[in-house]
Amino acid sequence: MTGDAVVIDGLQYSNWDREIFEQMRAGGLDAVHVTATYWENTRELLSNLGRWNRRFEAHPDLIRPVATADDIRSARREGRTGIIFGLQNCSPIEDDIDMVALLKRLNVHIMQLSYNNQSLICAGCYEDNDPGISRFGHQVIREMNRVGMIIDMSHSAEFSTLEAIRLSERPIVISHANPLFFREARRNKSEKVLRALAESGGLLGFSCYPFHLRDGSDCTLESFTEMIARTVDLMGIEHVGIGTDLCQKQPLSVLEWMRNGRWSKVKDYGEGSASNADWPRPLSWLRTTADFGNIATGLHDRGFSNEEVQRIMGMNWLHFFDQALQPEGA
């Protein structure tokens, strides 16, 4: 990217080390939304945030924390990558409404209301039945709106997602998923959801996780950018970004944690299967976060204008954060 255009990846969860942070710099990333927890509770989240503090201490030349959207602009000027904390489930607030404001103070800016399963707030995308938003959920949405914590419905079920969009007084995101028309998968989203998301001012981050892509690990960059073009026709150019869902250097045990947490005695394979239980093979055009710029190249090749490419590659996320990270009334 050139000029002041900020580049943002709307979701990564890697086995963080200096090499990965160097790859973020090589990929030109000014900010990354990183997953701090899947199933962890409050105390376990704090430990994970503590580990991030050690990383900020150890690699101050490469990464920095993000409290506001302007911190992302600062990161760009400093030649560092801003780290935006997010949660893939509401488990770190446990059953405690007061945790929302406390976690926001610790730079937790994004929270999914469920992760695959039923949560205390709403249904996940793998549940058979979907009650929408619970009594607790109504209060959590109100509180997240108040403090400026972004609602993310990437792993939630459809009715719950539509209800979250309806109930939230501020726009929400689906940080990492693709349209169902691109691949039938319980994690991908219907046109109904995508339209409602766009109409409410929300944002979709396109996922590069092979299980969310047509042809899986063999999905071409052309196919991916064609999906983006079709989704832009549906949602409008302002409402899309990237959320690669890159999980680098993670052992199988982490995938099993993501899929099984502590809730299952029977091994659950998520989007995989017993015969295909491992991490999917990486895409040829996105082996690591250093390849992030390939997506911009692909978008140019597909015929997007410079401004459109900049929007998709990060400026839509940045403008969303400008509003969404501020407390209500600020």
Interface contacts to its own copies, rule CB under 8 A: 39, 41, 91, 94-98, 117-121, 123, 126-127, 129-132, 134-137, 139, 143, 261-266
What amino acid occupies position 270? G
Short-list 207, 232, 241, CA closest to 316: 241
- Residue 97 or 229: the one with the smaller Cβ distance to its own copies is 97
- Residue 94 or 222: the one with the smaller Cβ distance to its own copies is 94
CB atoms under 10 Å from CB of 303, counted, come to 9
DSSP 268: P
Provide the token pair at 227: 């999906």
Min CB(223)–its own copies separation in Å:
32
- Residue 10 or 137: the one with the smaller Cβ distance to its own copies is 137
217-223, long-range: CB within 8 Å, 24+ apart, which pairs?
217/280, 217/281, 217/282, 217/283, 219/283, 220/285, 221/285, 221/294, 221/295, 221/297, 221/298, 222/298, 222/301, 222/302
Q: How far apart are CA 221 and CA 53, in angstroms?
A: 35
How many CA atoms lie within 13 Å of 93's alpha carbon, on the beta-carbon side?
33
Q: How far apart are CA 146 and CA 253, in angstroms?
A: 37
- Residue 118 or 326: the one with the smaller Cβ distance to its own copies is 118
Q: How far apart are CA 228 and CA 225, in angstroms?
A: 5
Torsion angle defined by CA atoms of residues 265, 267, 270 and 271, in that order, rounded to the nearest 10 degrees: -170
- Residue 77 or 135: the one with the smaller Cβ distance to its own copies is 135
Q: How far apart are CA 150 and CA 171, in angstroms?
A: 8
Min CB(118)–its own copies separation in Å:
4
- Residue 32 or 144: the one with the smaller Cβ distance to its own copies is 144
Min CB(127)–its own copies separation in Å:
6
Q: What does residue 70 show for φ and ψ, rounded to 5 degrees?
A: -65, -25
- Residue 118 or 306: the one with the smaller Cβ distance to its own copies is 118
Min CB(104)–its own copies separation in Å:
15
Min CB(133)–its own copies separation in Å:
9
Min CB(146)–its own copies separation in Å:
10
Min CB(143)–its own copies separation in Å:
7
